[in-house]
Amino acid sequence: MRPVEDTGIEIVGVDVPAPALTAEELAAAYADKADPEATQAGAAPGWVPYSTDELMGTLPAPREAPAQHGVRRTLGLAPSEAERAERQARHLAATPYPRPVTIVVANPKGGSGKTPTTLLLAGAMGNARGGGVVAWDNNELRGNLHLRTNAGGNQNTVIDLLRAMPHLTLPDARVGDVGGYLRPQVSGQYDALTSATTTYTQIEAAHFAQIHRLLSRFYRVVVIDTGNNEASSNWREAMRAADALVVPIKWKTSACGAAVQMLEDLQRQGPEARDLVQRTVIAASNGPGDINKDIERELRPYFSKRAAAVIDVPTDMHIAEEGPLDHAALQPATRRAALELAAKVAEQISKAMKGPYA
- State whether residue 214 is helix, strand or coil: helix
By the 8 A CB rule, do 213 and 237 touch? no
Fold (CATH) for 85-352: Rossmann fold (3.40.50)
Cα distance between residue 230 and residue 106, in whole Å:
9
By the 8 A CB rule, do 225 and 145 touch? yes
pLDDT tens string for the chain (358 positions)? 444 444 444 444 445 455 566 656 655 655 555 555 554 555 555 555 666 767 767 777 777 888 777 777 777 777 788 889 889 999 999 999 999 999 999 999 999 999 999 999 999 999 999 999 999 999 988 899 999 999 988 889 999 999 999 999 999 999 999 999 999 999 999 999 999 887 667 889 999 999 999 999 999 999 999 999 999 999 999 999 999 999 999 999 999 999 999 999 999 999 999 999 999 999 999 999 888 999 999 999 999 999 999 999 999 999 999 999 999 999 999 999 999 999 999 999 999 887 444 4
Q: Which helix (H) or strand (E) holds 162?
A: helix 158-163
Give the pairing type, strands 244-249 and 101-105.
Answer: parallel
Q: Which residues contact 178 (CB under 8 A, 6 or more apart)?
A: 161, 168, 214, 215, 218
Q: Which residues contact 96 (CB under 8 A, 6 or more apart)?
A: 356, 357
Q: Which residue type does 338 have?
A: A
101 exposed, middle or buried (CB, 10 Å; 0-12, 13-18, 19+)?
buried
Q: Measured between alpha carbons, how far is residue 242 from residues 246, 249, 273, 340 in Å?
A: 10, 19, 10, 20
Please report the sign of the dihedral spanned by the C-alpha atoms of residue 71, residue 76, residue 80, residue 83. positive
Task: Give the closest residue to 260 by CA, choosing from 302, 304, 312, 310.
Answer: 302
Cα distance between residue 325 and residue 147, in whole Å:
9
pTM: 0.81
